[in-house]
Amino acid sequence: MQLARVIGTVVMSHKDENLSAATLLLVQPLTLDHQPAGRPLVAIDSVGAGVGEEVFFVRGKEASFPFYPGEPPVDAGIVGIVDHWDVEV
Amino acid sequence: MLLARIVGTVVATRKDPRLVSSKLLVVRPIDPRGKADGNHLVAVDTVDAGVGETVLIVSGSSARMASGLKDCPVDAAIVGIVDTITVAD
């Protein structure tokens, strides 16, 4: 899983039927210093995250697991909203 | 998932039987502000997208979860046509 910040939203009216109820958010992966790391991507939201929040997300087919037995065609999914993180050494 | 712009089409007469009747498009990933970002790739279209449109790409094994692609040998699928992208400042 990776840490990221939600930076925006994506709206689609014509999409795969299994995405009809999906909330799609733009996320920017972060370093442990809260700095952007790498290119932003689109992730499905299963926890009610909002723009500006720090989250963690999974990549791969596992991103669809929160919607089981539904099978949305997604490869990135937000699975938690981070309150804070602490790093020692 | 990645945002991408459709830049072309691919015609292939000889291909895996499970790809017969699949529409193959050349797409170029873009950043949330529309600037090209990364290498071109070939994706299977499942939503009747066309050249010039901005779309959502699912990659990896999740691509097979797109409508009609079960058990197909693909690793990138177009699953939606993007209406708007909103990026918070």
Residue A40 domain-assigned (yes or no): yes
User: How many residues are given for chain B?
Assistant: 89
Residue A4 domain-assigned (yes or no): yes
All residues at 6 or more sequence positions from B14 whose CB lies less than 8 Å from its CB, including other chains = none
Mutate to test the interface with B, among A6, A13, A14 (most CBs of B within 10 A): A14
Residue A49 domain-assigned (yes or no): yes
Using one digit for the tens of pLDDT, what is the confidence trace for B35-65? 999 899 999 999 999 999 999 999 999 999 9
Contact assessment for residue B7 and residue B51, using Cβ atoms and an 8 Å cutoff: yes
Ordered structural domains, chain B, with CATH: 2-81 (2.40.50.220)
Nearest to B79 among A7, A61, A73 (CB): A73
DSSP state of A52: T
Residue A5 domain-assigned (yes or no): yes
What is the SS3 assignment for B21?
A: coil
Residue A64 domain-assigned (yes or no): no
Minimum CA–CA partner of B36 in chain A: A39
Residue A87 domain-assigned (yes or no): no
> What is the pLDDT averaged over residues B6-24?
93
pLDDT category, B18, cuts 50, 70, 90?
very high
Residues 19-38 of A with CB under 8 A from B: 19, 24, 26
Burial pattern A20-36, b for ≥16 Cβ within 10 A else e, equals eebbbbbbbbbeeeeee
Residue A77 domain-assigned (yes or no): no
Whether the per-residue pLDDT at B89 is higher than 90: the answer is no
Residue A7 belongs to domain with CATH number: 2.40.50.220
Contacting residues of A for B47, CB less than 8 Å apart = 14-16
Contact assessment for residue A55 and residue A70, using Cβ atoms and an 8 Å cutoff: no
Whether the per-residue pLDDT at B32 is higher than 90: the answer is yes
Residue A6 domain-assigned (yes or no): yes
Q: Which segments of chain A have a pLDDT < 70?
A: none
Contacting residues of B for A14, CB less than 8 Å apart = 47-48, 80-81
Contact assessment for residue A18 and residue A2, using Cβ atoms and an 8 Å cutoff: no
Q: How many domains does chain A have?
A: 1
Minimum CA–CA partner of B61 in chain A: A61
Where in the sequence is the domain holding A30, given as residue range(s)? 1-11+22-53
pLDDT, position A88: 87
